[in-house]
Structures are given as structure tokens and as C-alpha cells.
């Protein structure tokens, strides 16, 4: 190919395909170890309230910290050291182009372990990424749910975080939702009880996750039917479907229950979680997303109508379910 005197970078810049600022990874002066997340979505308003308590290790005394954050409004941020002393922010600067926020503290954060506590609000977007609102109809009535799609870098639209795969941590997740709705996450439910201040809501807490990257966190809220079964190892597998489509989840459920033991024997890698949910989401951009313990799917990639689905459709469901389950269990062992 002839050289026209313009290299690829210059051509991309002329076409407007590059960011104005070069990408830089987050510094390792402060790194996350564990997240405590409490999320309360308001589905009709397409908003949510959040609280994130991030247990961190401060490797270097600094008074400035940058974390990933997009489409979130921070109400309050405070650092609490091992001695219980609080260090408050004196300035919060949103870097919208880089989808980050810079926190300037009133004093240096002391070296050692501590907690960053974020209070914030966010939007349930309609872009099928991040934490988004999922609209569907039941008997002609429009209703709403919520779902996450954090790969590749959209967890920052749900909670402030180190949204790079190398920054792994464990997660304790709590969802506060309407008491009539199903609420799912990566791990089994630890407790479920009415919200003390409003009995129309329920507080659902989940077991602590294994150490993992932010993009694998899953939150799903809505109305679902489900079928369940267990593998020969006792792993609970459920297939969640939109209301009225429960029977269409049977094929994927049966396939999944047989597939996990097959992978265990073939790869000598046992599935390490106590449950595996297959969730059919009405509005979903991808074929599937292999969130650990809570795999989300486009309806056509997981549901089979026993009377009308073609052989090709069944093969596609088997392929997508099998690939997603291996992606989930395989990445668990290699994290």
C-alpha cells in the first residue's frame, strides 16, 4: 500500500476517532480489597440510590485519589482509617471524558488499611449497558425491571470503583427492591427481610463473592418465572424466564445440568460456586454475559419453544449456554 504521508494515529485523530486525552491506568497508591454495595433502584423514575463501602489498602500517603465513575452523582465521600479517624473530601472533580472522578481530601490518607465510603445517586439508563432499566409488557401493561451489563468497563455507571480487570476484589451485595420482585446477583441469598422504614420494600443480602473483577458483578431485578434442578454435585441451577415462558427454559436447564459435570471431568475443573442462574432478559444487547453465578442472556439465546423452535435454534441455545457456562466457571479458576 502506498504511503500517503499520514500515519494511522494521525488519520484517526483527523477522523475524530480518538480521545483527546491518552488513556492512563489508575495509580496503585490506593487499591481495593473488598466492596460492600447497597443499591436501591426506583424503576418508574429510572433512578437508583447507592452506598459503596470500599475496603482499601493505602500504599502511599496521598491526599488525591482518582477512581472510575460515570453517570453517578456523589453526595458524600469520606475515608475512615484503621484508627477510626475520618478524612473528608474538600473537592470532587468529575472527569466526564475519562469517566472518572478526582477526589481531593483535606489531609493525606494514612498508609495501611481503611475504608472509602461513597453515598451517591445514579440513573437507570436505556442504553443496555451499565445499570439499565428493562421495559416489558404484561397483559398490555408496561412494567419495568433492571439489569446490569458491566463488560467491558461499565460497572462505573453503577458504583464508584477501580473498573479495570486487574483490580480484583470480593463483593458483599445488598439489593433493596419492591417486595413483589425477584432480585438476583452472583451469589445465593444470605438473608431477605422487609425494609424497616417501608414494608413495601424488601432488603436482599447475598453471600460474599469470590475475588473477581468489577465487570463480572451482576444485578437483576424484575418479574420472572423459573425452573430449577441440581447437578450430580449438588449445584443448584435455575433458569429464569419472563412471566408465562417458564416451559421454554426447560431445554437450557437440562443442558446446563448435564454440562457442568461434563466440564468438570473433561477439564478437571469443578464449578466452584453453589449456584448457577441462567436469566433470560427481555432487553439485552449481547447474546449472553458470563457473570459468575448469574449468567444473563438474550431471550433467543436461552429459550426454546418445544413446539415451534427449529433444530438450528436449539443448537444455538446449546452453543451459547455451553460457551457461557464454561466462560463463567473457567474464568473463576483463572482469576
End-to-end Cα distance, the chain: 42
Query: Taking 80 as the threshold, does the pLDDT of residue 8 lie above it?
Result: no
Q: How confident is the model at residue 4 (pLDDT cuts 50, 70, 90)?
A: very low
- Give the bridge partners for 149, in sequence order: 130
Q: Decide: residue 284, CB within 10 A, 0-12 exposed, 13-18 middle, 19+ buried.
A: buried
- Span 186-209, average pLDDT: 97
In sequence order, what DSSP letters do the residues of 179-223 get, joined into one string?
TTSEEEESS-EEEEEEETTEEEEEEEEEPPPPSB-GGG--EEEE-
pLDDT in tens, 284-297: 888 899 999 999 99
Query: In this predicted model, what pLDDT tens digit does every residue of 68-89 receive, in sequence order?
Result: 999 999 999 999 999 999 999 9
Q: Is the pLDDT score of 11 beyond 60?
A: no
CA distance 229 to 111: 48
State the Cα–Cα distance between residues 71 and 293, nearest whole angstrom: 27
- The pLDDT of 26-37, averaged and rounded, is 97
The b-or-e profile of 58-90 (16+ CB within 10 A means b, else e) is: beeeeeebbbbbbbbebeebebebeeeeebebe
The pLDDT of residue 198 is above 60: yes
| CA–CA distance, 103 with 57 (Å, rounded to integer) | 16
Q: Residue 325: what pLDDT? A: 84
pLDDT above 90 as % of the chain: 82
| pLDDT score of 286 | 85
Q: Which helix (H) or strand (E) segment is 297 a member of?
A: strand 294-298
Task: Say what the pLDDT of residue 64 is.
Answer: 97
d(CA 125, CA 146): 9
Q: Which pLDDT score, from 0 to 100, does residue 269 have?
A: 84
Q: How far apart are CA 271 and CA 323, in angstroms?
A: 14
DSSP letter at 151? T
Strand partners, 35: 54, 171
pLDDT tier at 335 (50, 70, 90 boundaries)? low
Residue-averaged pLDDT of the chain: 91
Distance from C-alpha of 184 to C-alpha of 222, rounded to nearest angstrom? 9
Judge whether 108 and 63 are in contact, CB under 8 Å: yes
Residue 27 DSSP code: P
Report the distance separating Cα 118 and Cα 52, nearest Å.
5
C-alpha cell at 321: 449456554
What pLDDT score does 300 carry? 92
pLDDT of 20 over the 70 cut: no
Mean pLDDT, range 257-276, rounded to an integer = 92
Q: Where do we find the cell 451499565?
A: 130
- Any alpha helices (H) in 21-112, and if so which ranges? none
Amino acid at each position: 500500500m502506498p504511503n500517503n504521508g499520514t500515519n494511522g494515529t494521525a488519520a484517526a485523530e483527523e477522523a475524530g476517532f480518538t480521545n483527546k486525552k491518552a488513556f492512563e491506568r489508575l495509580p496503585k497508591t490506593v487499591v481495593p480489597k473488598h466492596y460492600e454495595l447497597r443499591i436501591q433502584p426506583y424503576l418508574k423514575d429510572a433512578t437508583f440510590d447507592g452506598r459503596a463501602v470500599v475496603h482499601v489498602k493505602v500504599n502511599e500517603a496521598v491526599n488525591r485519589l482518582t477512581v472510575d465513575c460515570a453517570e453517578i452523582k456523589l453526595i458524600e465521600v469520606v475515608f475512615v482509617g484503621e484508627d477510626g479517624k475520618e478524612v473528608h473530601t474538600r473537592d470532587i472533580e468529575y472527569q466526564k471524558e475519562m469517566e472518572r472522578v478526582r477526589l481531593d481530601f483535606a489531609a493525606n490518607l494514612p498508609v495501611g488499611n481503611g475504608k472509602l465510603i461513597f453515598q451517591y445517586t445514579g440513573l437507570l439508563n436505556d442504553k443496555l449497558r451499565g445499570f439499565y432499566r428493562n421495559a416489558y409488557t404484561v397483559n398490555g401493561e408496561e412494567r419495568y425491571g433492571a439489569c446490569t451489563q458491566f463488560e467491558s468497563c461499565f460497572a462505573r455507571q453503577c458504583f464508584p470503583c477501580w473498573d479495570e480487570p486487574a483490580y480484583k476484589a470480593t463483593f458483599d451485595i445488598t439489593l433493596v427492591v419492591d417486595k413483589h420482585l425477584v432480585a438476583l446477583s452472583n451469589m445465593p441469598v444470605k438473608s431477605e427481610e422487609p425494609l424497616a422504614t417501608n414494608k413495601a420494600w424488601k432488603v436482599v443480602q447475598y453471600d460474599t463473592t469470590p475475588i473477581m473483577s468489577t465487570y463480572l458483578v451482576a444485578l437483576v431485578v424484575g418479574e420472572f418465572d423459573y425452573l430449577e434442578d441440581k447437578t450430580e454435585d449438588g449445584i443448584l441451577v435455575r433458569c429464569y424466564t419472563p412471566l408465562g415462558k417458564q416451559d421454554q427454559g426447560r431445554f437450557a436447564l437440562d443442558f446446563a445440568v448435564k454440562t457442568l459435570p461434563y466440564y468438570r471431568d473433561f477439564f478437571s475443573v469443578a464449578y466452584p460456586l453453589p449456584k448457577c442462574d441462567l436469566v433470560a432478559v427481555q432487553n439485552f444487547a449481547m447474546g449472553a454475559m458470563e457473570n459468575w453465578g448469574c449468567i444473563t442472556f438474550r431471550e433467543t439465546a436461552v429459550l426454546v419453544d418445544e413446539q415451534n423452535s427449529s433444530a438450528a435454534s436449539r443448537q444455538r441455545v446449546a452453543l451459547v449456554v455451553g460457551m457461557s457456562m464454561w466462560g463463567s466457571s473457567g474464568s473463576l479458576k483463572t482469576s
